Chain A
């Protein structure tokens, strides 16, 4: 063999790309703090179970004689407008709100992912149609549309009246309507990333060997699109949590008696004058959660892109 190598190989050990990224993330103080905050929140909402078990409080039990009680040994944060224990409801409401956030993000994200990849990869007419459709969805005023969707009468769609008014229906309805409306930003992002990756030479090399869409998309496109997607998903969670809270607040999301941080603020005017504390807690929890999620998203952005400066 006469083709001699004259340059030495990089001696830095194959330090995984991911480990490098973790290091950068760890240097981003707000993001790290937020991770801790989110962990604490997780503990908080899950504490509902031991709490109920130990104290025997029933989160749905109304006691109209004890409305708006101030904090006491029995009810650490007092009672709400129907006499229910506020603290436990905050915890369970948190579970619901966070669960809706996660599910709707994943569902909507998947829709956006598929639309984006298909649109970006196939281009041409497929792309044109999908993008016109996406633009159309973006043009819709979000909140009014969600309200219309949230107010839909399920019985008119053929569901039984009993189901239509159940807590489960309310929960799944809001997950579904948010995900079918909120996928557009991920779709655009994924499409842009797909467009740029599609033209890379390693994709062309694969196509030169006869690779079709079904090979290229999972093998080359998705792994390389992972980075912006992860950031986008994280930021979407924050947005979705806010959407759910607004809808539940207006009465079109999670319906009482199932608590959610949004619908606990339902009787806003009443709360403000009678028990201001109750008006503060749910919103504060939402704020803290969403800020934490956003900081983490920011940290991820820095971790994945060394060029972005602090």
Chain B
């Protein structure tokens, strides 16, 4: 098992490395040249100065050489300087990461609870009206464009009803937990709604299959009361595929978070990357994207391991 984990981590590292090359090259193709922007804001720059600057920043060297320099620096912890924030990249990235984590974790928890509750209700009486309704809600969840859902939420709750603030993390002059909470409500609900849809169907399908399985029927035949059966026997077995799916949907959650943050003007990773790309802040965008890749890789690995641990039948090798 340990060997398997180490193997996979090595592979993940390899993937990360390859992706860093790919993204580095792609970012170079983005519109705008960092020096052009510098020149535009400083009309006094003569061609000699420009050439000199170009040499200093190493922009006259071939792509692979620049990449190599970047890689060496990155491995020592120097991830460069963010042009648009005038700060080292890590100082911008880490707070943003934390902000996103807050949003994602809370949304994830809400989503999991919601989907388990709804999924189990639906599974207890398949084909019933509750099942049909929940099914419809689930379908709507996976079909709705997240940004539009956010728009609608803003329209209804912020503009028309004035219940919650439409953007930001905290109001000026406040910053306490309650205020932050109010600002988080809509983003969390938006994100949670979008992800719950997919989860519900898995929970439901998983529960239905397990409720039918022989050992559950045996437990019921032995006289265990209905709720006991449901909770104890079925739940644990239903957990297995569901957990995998949930962990693997981290990517979906991240995409959703990016959009949600943009819509609600929250300073998280998603918005940071988006702004960095638009603002030609190469270092920040590159590092941000790589971080996101790393986290996705790690979560996939964690899902695989959790899956193998939860179900002892799975031979990992």
- A-side residues, CB < 8 A to B, are 30, 132, 135-136, 138-145, 147-149, 151-153, 155-157, 238, 242, 245-246, 249-250, 262, 265, 268, 271-273, 276, 279-280, 282-283, 286-287, 290-291, 293-295, 298, 309-310
Bound complex: CA of A276 vs CA of B151, how far in Å? Answer: 10
| In the complex, residue of chain B having the shortest beta-carbon distance to the beta carbon of A286 | B145
15 other A-B residue contacts (CB within 8 Å) besides A132-B14, A144-B274, A155-B31: A139-B15, A139-B300, A140-B19, A141-B289, A143-B255, A144-B273, A147-B277, A151-B30, A238-B142, A249-B147, A250-B262, A272-B155, A280-B155, A291-B143, A295-B139
Shortest 10 CB-CB contacts between residues of A and residues of B: A283-B148, A153-B31, A290-B143, A141-B292, A291-B143, A143-B255, A136-B15, A139-B297, A152-B29, A245-B145
Instruction: Please tell me if B259 contacts chain A, counting CB pairs below 8 Å.
Output: yes
Kindly list chain A residues whose C-beta atoms are within 8 Å of the C-beta of B19. 136, 139-140
Q: How far is the CA of A293 from the CA of B139 in the complex (A)?
A: 10
B104 lies within 8 A of chain A by Cβ: no
Tell me, in angstroms, the Cα distance from A135 to B13 when the chains sit together.
Answer: 12
B152 interface residue, CB < 8 Å from A? yes
Shortest Cβ gap from B66 to chain A (Å): 16
List CB contacts (< 8 Å) of B280-294 with chain A: 285, 288-289, 292-293
Interface magnitude class on chain B? 35 or more
Contact flags (1/0) for B242-259 with A, using CB distance below 8 Å? Answer: 000000000100110011
> Is the CB–CB distance between A149 and B26 below 8 Å?
yes
**Residue in contact with A268 in the complex, picked from B27, B151, B297, CB distance below 8 Å:** B151
CB within 8 Å for A151 and B277 given contacts A139-B15, A141-B296, A157-B29:
yes
Q: How far is the CA of A90 from the CA of B264 in the complex (A)?
A: 26
Closest partner residue, chain B, to A148 (CB atom): B26
Question: Inside 8 A of B289's CB, which chain A residues have their CB?
Answer: 141, 144-145, 148
Can you list 28 contacts pairing A with B, beta carbon distance less than 8 Å? A138-B300, A140-B296, A141-B251, A141-B289, A142-B255, A144-B258, A144-B292, A145-B23, A152-B30, A156-B29, A242-B145, A246-B146, A246-B147, A250-B262, A262-B145, A268-B147, A271-B151, A272-B151, A272-B154, A276-B159, A283-B149, A283-B152, A290-B144, A291-B139, A291-B143, A294-B143, A295-B139, A310-B126
Q: Name the A residues within 8 Å of B263 (CB-CB).
A: 268
Residue B11 lies at the interface, judged by CB distance under 8 Å to chain A: yes
Cα-based distance from A155 to B36 in the complex (angstroms)? 15
**Chain A facing B: main interface SS:** helix
CA of A252 to CA of B147, assembled, Å: 15
B204 CB to closest chain A CB (Å) equals 11
* Partner of B159 from A138, A246, A250, A273 at Cβ < 8 Å: A273
- The answer to whether B144 and A287 touch across the interface, beta carbons within 8 angstroms, is yes
CA–CA, A275 and B29, complex, Å: 38
Q: Does B18 contact A (CB under 8 A)?
A: yes
> Could you say which residues of chain B place their CB within 8 Å of the CB of A148?
23, 26-27, 30, 277, 285, 289
CB pair B142–A294 under 8 Å, yes or no, is yes
Question: Complex formed: what's the CA distance from A84 to B11 in Å?
Answer: 53
Would you call B140 an interface residue if the criterion is a C-beta within 8 Å of the partner chain's C-beta atoms? yes
CA distance A289 to B23 in the complex (A): 33
B297: chain A residues at CB < 8 Å are: 139
Instruction: Collect the chain A residues with CB atoms within 8 Å of residue B147's CB.
Output: 245-246, 249, 265, 268
> Contact: A286 with B148, CB < 8 Å?
yes
